[in-house]
Homo-oligomer: A and B are copies of this chain.
Amino acid sequence: MNPAIVLFGHGARNAEYAEPFRRIRAAMLASDPQAQVEIGFLELSQPTLEDAIAALQARGARRIRVVPIFFAPGKHVLKDLPERAAAAMERHAGLEIELAEAVGTVPEVIAAMAAYALAQ
C-alpha cells in the first residue's frame, strides 16, 4: 500500500497563504483520487504537521511520507522536521514516517520555476 502523504509547509499569519498548498493537494487528488494527502504546517498556519499525521493515522495510515514544500533545505527541513517526525513516531506506536527531499530540489520543479521566471 502506498504511504499516506503530508505536504509540509512553513505557515504564515494570513489565511490565503494556505491556498497554494490546497492547490497542490487538489492536483494530487485529481491525478490519484485514492491518494491520502493532508497538509501540515510548521508554524502559524493550521493544521499543524502533528494534526496532519494524527488525522492520517486515525484513518488507518501505517506509513506516512512527509514531502517538504520548501525550496531548499534550511533549518526547518534539516532539523525541525526530523525532530518532529521522530516525536510523532514515538507518540503513534507502529507508525512509520519517511521524509522526502524538499520539493524545490526536484529537477522538474526547478524547470517549471525557470520557465515561469523567464516568461515576460
Q: How many residues of A contact B (CB 8 A)?
A: 51
Main secondary structure of the interface of A (DSSP, over half): helix
Tell whether, in the assembled complex, residue A110 and residue B20 are in contact, meaning their CB atoms are under 8 Å apart.
yes
Compute how far the CA of A120 lies from the CA of B120 in the bound complex, rounded to whole angstroms.
35
Which residues from B are CB-within-8-Å of A21?
Answer: 71-72
Query: Closest CB-CB distance, A5 to chain B, in whole Å?
Result: 6
Compute how far the CA of A46 lies from the CA of B59 in the bound complex, rounded to whole angstroms.
44
Tell whether, in the assembled complex, residue B78 and residue A3 are in contact, meaning their CB atoms are under 8 Å apart.
no
Query: Closest CB-CB distance, A38 to chain B, in whole Å?
Result: 11
Given contacts A69-B104, A100-B117, A108-B116, 15 further A-B contacts (CB under 8 A): A3-B120, A7-B117, A9-B72, A14-B73, A17-B74, A18-B72, A20-B71, A20-B105, A20-B110, A21-B72, A23-B105, A69-B71, A71-B71, A103-B116, A111-B112
Compute how far the CA of A109 lies from the CA of B103 in the bound complex, rounded to whole angstroms.
10
Interface residue stretch chosen among A25-33, A50-58, A82-90 = A25-33
Which residues from B are CB-within-8-Å of A5?
Answer: 117-118
